């Protein structure tokens, strides 16, 4: 009876990288019919010894991604003593990096997983900002790390997206005199909310440009000075009722305003 082909994957992290490489290679032989037994988060020689004994018993191959030098040396030594093939999947490329770029590796397991987690947190925050943009669903207010409120054209959406790239879940709510603010706005801690205001002259200029871009006349009520004053007055009353910090965005780039928001929140939440 033909002996089962087994590859033991050993990693001081999750081991996904090693398993994917083994699978890629296995597809070149016998249609990939190889049993892979993954051993994740190996952090002492006893774990390695267990795999060595199993691999010897089954005359199996070992593939590993271990960055902790002491564990790697032990595995190489024991594999040689037991006449086992143990393939190091990382060191050749790590050595090439060191030689070419004149840098030393951190020898710290789990860094790839950390990068992946950071990436997925950012994607989640971006999706959150899109879902809860412009007050579409007030339930997002209760889930958000930051809630931005202000009249139209105070950069709420660009700020939400910018902060999302820094992994903050941001909801934004437009303040319009004819539309009562959502109840959820008054249920969150004041330190989670930021009010955005702007000078009437600057808002008038921005709104006129917006109307022009839409092919509409600049005399529309949306850009009228009295309408703007009414909206700003209404917005400030809501912000005072919420009790949130207020930032004036006039003549500020999105990056500058975002920095101010984070500074204010840091100060508020440290009190």
Spatial separation of the C-alpha atoms in residues 172 and 61, rounded to whole Å: 55
User: Given pLDDT bands bounded at 50, 70 and 90, which one contains residue 32?
Assistant: low
Spatial separation of the C-alpha atoms in residues 32 and 27, rounded to whole Å: 4
When pLDDT is averaged across residues 22-34 and rounded to a whole number, the result is 82
Confirm whether residue 153 is marked as ligand binding.
yes
User: Given pLDDT bands bounded at 50, 70 and 90, which one contains residue 116?
Assistant: low
Name the token pair of 234.
């209404």
**Check whether domain 6-109 has CATH 3.40.50, yes or no:** yes
Q: What is the pLDDT of residue 241?
A: 97
The Cβ of residue 43 has, within 10 Å, a number of other Cβ atoms equal to 13
Residue in this structure with the two tokens 């892979």, named with its chain if needed: 36
Residue in this structure with the two tokens 């060595």, named with its chain if needed: 52
Confirm whether residue 167 is marked as ligand binding.
no
Q: What is the pLDDT of residue 105?
A: 75
Lowest mean pLDDT among 63-72, 97-106, 233-242: 97-106
Cβ 18 vs Cβ 63: under 8 Å: yes
> Would you give the DSSP letter of residue 126?
H
Confirm whether residue 110 is marked as ligand binding.
no
User: Given pLDDT bands bounded at 50, 70 and 90, which one contains residue 218?
Assistant: low
Lowest mean pLDDT among 15-29, 157-171, 189-203: 15-29
What residue spans define the domains of the chain? Answer: 6-109, 116-269
Name the token pair of 121.
């947190």
Residue 248's beta-bridge partner residues?
Answer: 197
Q: What is the pLDDT of residue 30?
A: 66
134 sits in the region (left: phi over 0; alpha: psi -120 to 50; else beta) called: left
Spatial separation of the C-alpha atoms in residues 20 and 26, rounded to whole Å: 10
Spatial separation of the C-alpha atoms in residues 175 and 234, rounded to whole Å: 8
When pLDDT is averaged across residues 98-126 and rounded to a whole number, the result is 79
Confirm whether residue 207 is marked as ligand binding.
no
Confirm whether residue 150 is marked as ligand binding.
yes
- Checking if the pLDDT of 1 tops 50, the result is no
86-110 pLDDT tens trace: 999 988 988 899 898 888 877 777 6
Percent of the chain with pLDDT over 90: 68
Confirm whether residue 156 is marked as ligand binding.
yes
Confirm whether residue 155 is marked as ligand binding.
yes
**Same-fold call for 6-109 versus 116-269:** yes
Most distant CA atoms of the chain, gap in Å: 90
**For the range 14-21, what are the long-range contacts, defined as Cβ-Cβ under 8 Å and sequence gap of 24 or more?**
14/40, 14/41, 14/110, 14/113, 15/39, 15/40, 15/65, 17/65, 17/89, 17/112, 18/63, 18/64, 18/65, 18/89, 21/63, 21/89
151-171 pLDDT tens trace: 999 999 999 999 999 999 999
Spatial separation of the C-alpha atoms in residues 156 and 141, rounded to whole Å: 14
- What is the domain class of 116-269 according to CATH? alpha beta
């Amino acid at each position: 009876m033909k002996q089962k082909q087994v590859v033991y994957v050993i990693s001081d992290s999750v081991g996904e990288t090693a398993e994917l490489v083994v699978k890629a290679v296995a597809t070149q032989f016998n249609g990939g019919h190889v049993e892979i037994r993954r051993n994740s988060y190996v952090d002492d020689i006893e774990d390695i010894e267990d795999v060595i004994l199993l691999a010897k018993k089954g005359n199996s191959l070992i593939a590993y991604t271990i960055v902790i030098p002491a564990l790697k040396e032990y595995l190489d030594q024991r594999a040689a003593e037991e006449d086992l093939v143990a393939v190091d999947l990382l060191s050749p490329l790590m050595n090439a990096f060191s030689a070419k770029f004149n840098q030393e590796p951190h020898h710290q397991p789990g860094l790839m997983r950390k990068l992946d987690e950071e990436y997925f947190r950012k994607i989640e925050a971006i999706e959150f900002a899109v879902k809860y943009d412009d007050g579409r669903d007030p339930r997002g207010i209760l889930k958000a790390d930051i809630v931005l409120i202000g009249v139209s054209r105070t950069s709420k959406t660009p700020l939400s997206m910018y902060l999302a790239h820094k992994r903050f879940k941001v909801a934004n709510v437009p303040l319009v005199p004819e539309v009562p603010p959502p109840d959820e706005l008054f249920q969150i801690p004041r330190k989670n909310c930021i009010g955005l205001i702007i000078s009437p002259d600057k808002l008038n200029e921005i709104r006129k440009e917006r109307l022009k871009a839409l092919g509409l006349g600049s005399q529309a009520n949306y850009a009228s000075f009295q309408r703007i004053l009414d909206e700003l007055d209404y917005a400030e009353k809501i912000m005072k009722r919420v009790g949130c910090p207020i930032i004036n965005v006039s003549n500020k780039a999105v990056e500058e305003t975002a920095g101010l928001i984070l500074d204010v929140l840091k100060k508020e939440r440290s009190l």
